[in-house]
């Protein structure tokens, strides 16, 4: 090893830049959750468990939005039917 190294052209930060649209975070997940996604990757013959977690979260968000839209539509229909019945009854 050298006694001194020249770091004058060194750069701070991660060695690999993050992909656009991605943010690196630290999160604590239960071992059971990680095990599930790692097992799925293994069963699929490869891949990335983090991508599967992203996909699962995205699916959950879409499902929650869909549920909200459906609930609102049902409320509006019930209200409309209720008002129509009150006018005719």
Q: Does residue 52 form part of some domain?
A: yes
Rounded-to-integer distance, Cα 85 and Cα 77, Å: 12
Residue 12 inside a domain? The answer is: no
Q: How many domains, the chain?
A: 1
- Tens-binned pLDDT, residue by residue, of the chain (89 aa): 888 999 888 888 777 777 888 888 899 999 999 999 999 999 999 999 999 999 999 999 988 888 888 888 899 999 989 988 888 86
Cα 12 to chain centroid, rounded: 29
Range of the domain at 84: 33-88
| Residue 60 placed within a domain | yes
Residue 16: inside a domain:
no
Distance, CA of 67 to CA of 86 (rounded, Å): 28
Flag whether 44 is in a domain: yes
Calculate the alpha carbon distances from 54 to 5, 59, 61, 72, 82 in Å. 41, 9, 11, 27, 42
């Amino acid at each position: 090893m050298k006694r001194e190294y020249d770091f004058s052209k060194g750069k701070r930060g991660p060695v690999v830049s993050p992909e656009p649209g991605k943010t690196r975070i630290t999160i604590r997940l239960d071992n059971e959750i990680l095990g599930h996604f790692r097992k799925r990757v293994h069963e699929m013959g490869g891949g990335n468990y983090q991508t599967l977690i992203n996909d699962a979260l995205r699916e959950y968000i879409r499902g929650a939005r869909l549920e909200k839209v459906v609930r609102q539509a049902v409320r509006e229909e019930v209200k409309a039917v209720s008002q129509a019945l009150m006018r005719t009854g």
